[in-house]
Amino acid sequence: NAGVTQTPKFQVLKTGQSMTLQCAQDMNHEYMSWYRQDPGMGLRLIHYSVGAGITDQGEVPNGYNVSRSTTEDFPLRLLSAAPSQTSVYFCATNLLIGGAGEQYFGPGTRLTVT
């Protein structure tokens, strides 16, 4: 049982490049989400999904796309990277949709955009 896995662990991009951050879970959780962590700002929600085929925007969705074709995977796509997207990105899952369940976090991806 691997829990929540994220790849890659580190990535350096040049401005304008695109890439996909991968997130996978083996806990059969319906709810998955992406956060970015910046110093002093806590974690901010980018996008989330309440099940396969269903996604919605969070607090800071601009510049990011997501899709959810399976329960297990929830990739985050940067279409045209900008220095403002330099951050640590965390994927998280939750057993209960909109409810009292706690979230399970992946180990994170540290992204630098130059």
Partner 1 sequence: AQSVAQPEDQVNVAEGNPLTVKCTYSVSGNPYLFWYVQYPNRGLQFLLKYITGDNLVKGSYGFEAEFNKSQTSFHLKKPSALVSDSALYFCAVRDNAGNMLTFGGGTRLMVKP
Per rule CB under 8 A, is residue 2 in the interface with partner 1? no
Q: Does 1 bind partner 1 (CB under 8 A)?
A: no
Whole-angstrom Cα distance, residue 109 to residue 23? 10
Least Å distance, CB 108 to partner 1, is 6
Instruction: By CB under 8 A, tell whether 10 contacts partner 1.
Output: no
Q: Which is nearer to partner 1, 82 or 110 (CB)?
A: 110
Q: What angle do CA 17, 20, 23 make, to 5 degrees?
A: 160
Burial readout 15-31 (b: 16 or more C-beta within 10 A, e: otherwise): eeeeeebebbbeeebbb
Interface pick for partner 1 out of 8, 16, 26, 56 (rule CB under 8 A) = 56
Say if CB 38 and CB 46 are below 8 A apart: no
**Residue 42 binding partner 1, by CB under 8 A:** yes
Let me know: does 61 contact 44? Beta carbons within 8 Å.
Answer: no
Part of the chain binding partner 1 (CB under 8 A), chosen from 16-24, 70-78, 79-87, 95-103: 95-103
| Structural element, H or E, at residue 23 | strand 19-25
Nearer to partner 1, 49 or 85 (CB): 49
Query: Other C-beta atoms within 10 Å of 102: how many?
Result: 9
Contact residues for partner 1 (CB under 8 A)?
4, 31, 33, 35, 40-45, 48, 50, 56, 58-59, 90, 92, 97-100, 102-108
